[in-house]
Amino acid sequence: MNFERIPTSEESEKPKEQSVEKESGTENWGRQAIRCVRRLAATGALVSSIFVAAEMKEEYFGKKGEYRDHISRTLSPEEREEKNELMDRVASDFGEDAKERIEKGDMVAFFEKQEARKMPELHGFDKEKEESFKKYVLTDNYLLWPKGWLDGEVGEVAYNPKEVSGHTIKGQEAIVGGFFMKIEKSPTSSYPAIVLNGEQGTDLQVITHELAHANDWENDMDLNILDRAKLLLAVKERIENQAKHAQGLDQDQRDYYQSYGDGTKNGEYRAAKEYWASICEKFFNTPENFQKASPEDFALVQEYARKNQSDFNVLNENRGAFDPKTGEIKTVWQDLENKK
């Protein structure tokens, strides 16, 4: 934090170079009093800022202590040892920053789980499109997503916004489809949002890809610290297998996630995040074909989807509101449709 330097009395009371009439005793006393009040106000602001910073620091370390107590209570000694081994592997493969991001994500999730979960708000859509999205896509109905994949994980879905949660969005038009963002509100809370761009922003594939980012090892509210590290390391193994066998993903998807691998550990970490989002795209949008083309990737996404909802079945014939052949509401959902 920057503070303005408070001038000394000698600096404040230096006479001007030009000659001026001497102040009367009353005027001089008044001016000195005003200067004194200003100095006290500045000093008071400084002291107040220090106290506020100290309180925030105390609150943060208090929260961190609460989180550490949670880890101690919920993990056995064997699991704590496993956690340390896993996080050492993460740091070795992806760098200390990746390890810190996972640990911080787990702490934020711990506190956010204590709050009521809400479905995402929609901003910037025209009325018809917004109603359709709320009704058929961003919903727990129609078995599209595992329970908990949406509510609490995404606070907002915005269409071509100028700002999100008070933060100006720049350069979004250069990103095809959309992107996921997470605004840090405090050391223990955040605001996750999906930003959609242009006509491609309405594509279900884009929504699926960005929801996958909201449900990865860094951002998912429901994973524990062991699951987070295991998922990242499992994705790393799958990437290595893709490089050998080129299964599952389209060429443009492979080119996309590989473009992040710049030879640095941070680049490999970003590539892993994009790989996870890409296999989730395939899993949710073309599950039958994906299961045949890449059963290992299919099984990985299914394993973690079922951590949210143990009986989730992406191959359920009733999944989704519309029959892909007729474009009509599926018979099984007509009663639900009629109630709306």
Structural domains for the chain = 121-339 (3.40.390)
pLDDT at 41: 45
Mean pLDDT of the 17-43 span:
40
Q: Who has greater pLDDT, 8 or 243?
A: 243
pLDDT at 1: 34
- Report which of 109, 90, 108 is spatially closest to residue 99, judged by C-alpha positions: 90
Residues 264-322 have pLDDT tens digits of: 999 999 999 999 999 999 999 999 999 999 999 999 999 999 999 999 999 999 999 98
Q: Who has greater pLDDT, 196 or 42?
A: 196
pLDDT at 59 over 80: no
Q: Which helix or strand (DSSP H or E) is residue 266 part of?
A: helix 265-285
- Which of 38-42, 57-61, 153-157, 254-258 is the least confident region? 38-42
Q: How confident is the model at residue 246 (pLDDT cuts 50, 70, 90)?
A: low
Count Cβ atoms within 10 A of the Cβ of residue 229 and give its class: 0-12 exposed, 13-18 middle, 19 or more buried: buried
Percent residues over pLDDT 70 in the chain: 78
Phi-psi region of 284 (alpha: psi -120 to 50; beta: other; left: phi over 0): alpha
pLDDT at 34 over 70: no
pLDDT at 170: 82
pLDDT at 150: 93
Residues 158-208 have pLDDT tens digits of: 998 889 998 998 877 778 789 999 999 888 899 999 999 876 556 788 999
Q: How confident is the model at residue 106 (pLDDT cuts 50, 70, 90)?
A: very high
- Which of 37-46, 112-121, 124-133, 205-214 is the least confident region? 37-46
Mean pLDDT of the 71-80 span:
95
pLDDT at 140: 84
Q: Round to whole Å and give the CA distance between 302 and 283.
A: 8
Q: Round to whole Å and give the CA distance between 111 and 1.
A: 27
pLDDT at 243 over 80: no
pLDDT at 201: 57
Q: Round to whole Å and give the CA distance between 154 and 194.
A: 7
Count Cβ atoms within 10 A of the Cβ of residue 195 and give its class: 0-12 exposed, 13-18 middle, 19 or more buried: buried
Distance of CA 248 to the CA centre of its chain: 26
